[in-house]
Structure 1
Amino acid sequence: MRLIQLSDLHFGTEQPAVVAALVARVQQLQPDVILLSGDITQRARRAQFAACRRFLNQLPAVPVLAVPGNHDLPLFNLWQRFSQPYAHYRRIFGHRLAPVYDNGDVLVVGVNTTRPGKHVDGGFSAATIASVSQYLRASTATVKIVMGHHPVDAVLATDEQNVAAGAEAAVRAWTAAGMQLYLAGHIHYPFFADLEHRYPGIPPQCWTAQAGTAISRRVRADIANSFNVIEWLPQQQMLCLQRWDDTQVGGGFTRVAQQLIAVRQPPALRG
């Protein structure tokens, strides 16, 4: 099973040539599910969400699971930001801000990390941590993934301020409930990391996959536009994380990094 994680599309700042390259690669990869980890638009405008709809219509007709990012809330229209902050978002993606995908073998739980009262910062409330834990414990899926917009880990010291409030409580609760992988965006800096390094004592084989910005000109330093692929390999009982960058050398998006992770055993079977 193949999932593609696209993040920080920032429609309104998209690069047409990169969009075309991404569409071609996603069509070639033929995912089973497409995941959008927030900042779908630059300024949460109706036209920018409509541009995203047109983009999605060019991709394979598979389930799309999306969560909002801080840029998907109005910035300058303060009345809308505090009275109907997700109105335009919901016209495209439906009412649920924390959707769930579960095919019986793979579970993906969406988390809304945005806060209308905050311009950039995100976090996990106690209620969110509890509800996601409940989903994770109730599911019999082999692979359990949580996806939000804001990260729970950082590689660069300058990104520590972007780690979501409540990240440690969330990671400890969710890994105890069976989560193996947390997906996020926000910082436009892609990486894969073993969460045990940041949160000692959590179960082994729990990772985070950060996606870069897929199509926006708002790239960071020399980091290319990129997206992630998550493949579930049931025969090998492995997850394969892949990073695909826009190499701009004629081949479009190319795989540049890969990480294999052994799938966690259910708690009753560990030890």
Structure 2
Amino acid sequence: MLLHLSDLHFGTEIPERVQAVKDFCQQQQPELVIVSGDLTQRARFQQFYACRQFLESLNIPYLVVPGNHDIPLYHVWRRFFNPFGRYQLFFGATEKEIVSEHFYVIGVNSIRPKYHTKGYVSTKQIAEVEAKLKSAPEHLYKLVAVHQPFYCEPFDKHVEDCPVSGEIALRHWADAGLNGLLHGHLHQSAVYHLNQFYHLDVAQSVLDIHAGTTFSNRTHHGEENGFNVITAQGEIDAYLYDDTSQSFQKWKRIWPINEASLV
């Protein structure tokens, strides 16, 4: 089991929901925790510190990637000359890999200081990730974590935030064996079957997997705080916070929706 968190926005966290994630991890013991960006609300030292303390307290291997909130917004000098300084102080390199019994996950930094919310993937990043996917063990479920989604509904205002060169990256990575992309940014749980939207000519299903905001008070679309759980078989369940039990409960299976959805 892989636990997919996103948009923690430390600085706006709700303490009882932070505790509920800890309780879930203690009970279920996922093999990996992945956080797809926006660890903090304003890239402040104390917010990064709180996030690091939280992740270390889970006692589970984890991988994080930066979100647009993880670089300074108002401090212009730091934004352009040392945008990831505080992030790196607590989490090291902005791009890492992690491997477990069933999963192989590559972190990609799509954040650029000159953009406020829009993502960007370079030709170098595309080539490096492609090479890593090709050399990954075939039996592992292969994922890339990147903050901005590669697909949004056409009417969604965030469609313009999809990364520059995202479709090019997707096609190269799909050919190299990618199974899915893990995103945040929209604060909403969803799965999109990219084979259909981009007519990918590959044998495996390639999914765009969106997680909601895990425990921030900055919820969108009327959706409660939540996260995704991905099984070794590639099934994806969305969990939402339940006030009555003060715990995260399974909301619904968001992949596969039905057998006809599979390639």
Same fold (TM over 0.5): yes
TM-fit CA distance, 1:119: 1.4
- Aligned residue in 2 for 1:225: 225
**C-alpha contact (below 8 Å) 1:7/1:214 kept by paired residues:** yes
Match of 1:244 in 2: 239
**TM-superposed deviation, 1:33:** 1.0
Q: How is 1:64-103 mapped onto 2 (pairs within 5 angstroms)?
A: 64-94=62-92, 96-103=93-100
Structure 2: 5+ residue runs without aligned partners?
257-263
Instruction: Provide the identity percentage.
Output: 36
CA contact (8 A) 1:102 1:141 kept: no
TM-score by length of 1: 0.89
User: Is 1:135 the counterpart of 2:129 in the alignment?
Assistant: no
Q: Does the 8 Å contact 2:7/2:38 carry over to 1?
A: yes
Asked if structure 1 preserves the Cα contact closer than 8 Å seen for 2:105 and 2:144, the reply is yes
What is the rounded CA distance, in whole Å, between the counterparts of 1:92 and 1:52 in structure 2?
9
Q: Is the 8 A contact 2:190 2:254 kept in 1?
A: no
| Runs of 4+ more than 3 Å apart | none
CA RMSD, Structure 1 to Structure 2 (Å): 1.6
What's the offset of the Cα at 1:129?
Answer: 0.8
CA distance in 1, matches of 2:60, 2:53: 15
Q: 3-state SS of the aligned residue for 1:157?
A: coil
- Give 1:170's aligned residue: 169
For residues 126 and 157 of structure 1, the distance between their equivalents in structure 2, rounded to whole angstroms, comes to 28
Q: Which runs of no fewer than 5 residues in structure 1 stay unpaired?
A: 233-237, 262-271
Residue 259 of structure 2 corresponds to which residue in structure 1?
none
1:190, CA displacement in angstroms? 1.2
What's the secondary structure of 2:77's corresponding residue? helix
Aligned with 2:106 (options 105, 109, 114): 109
Match of 1:49 in 2: 48
Instruction: Note the alpha carbon deviations across 1:62-82, whole angstroms, 9 max, x for none.
Output: 211111001000111111111
**Distance in 2, Cα, partners of 1:180 & 1:15:** 33
- 2:117 is aligned to 120
One-letter amino acid of the structure 2 residue matched with residue 190 of structure 1: S
**Structure 2 residue matching 1:239: 3-state secondary structure:** coil
- AA in 2 matched with 1:85: P
Q: CA–CA distance in 1 between the matches of 2:120 and 2:78? A: 21
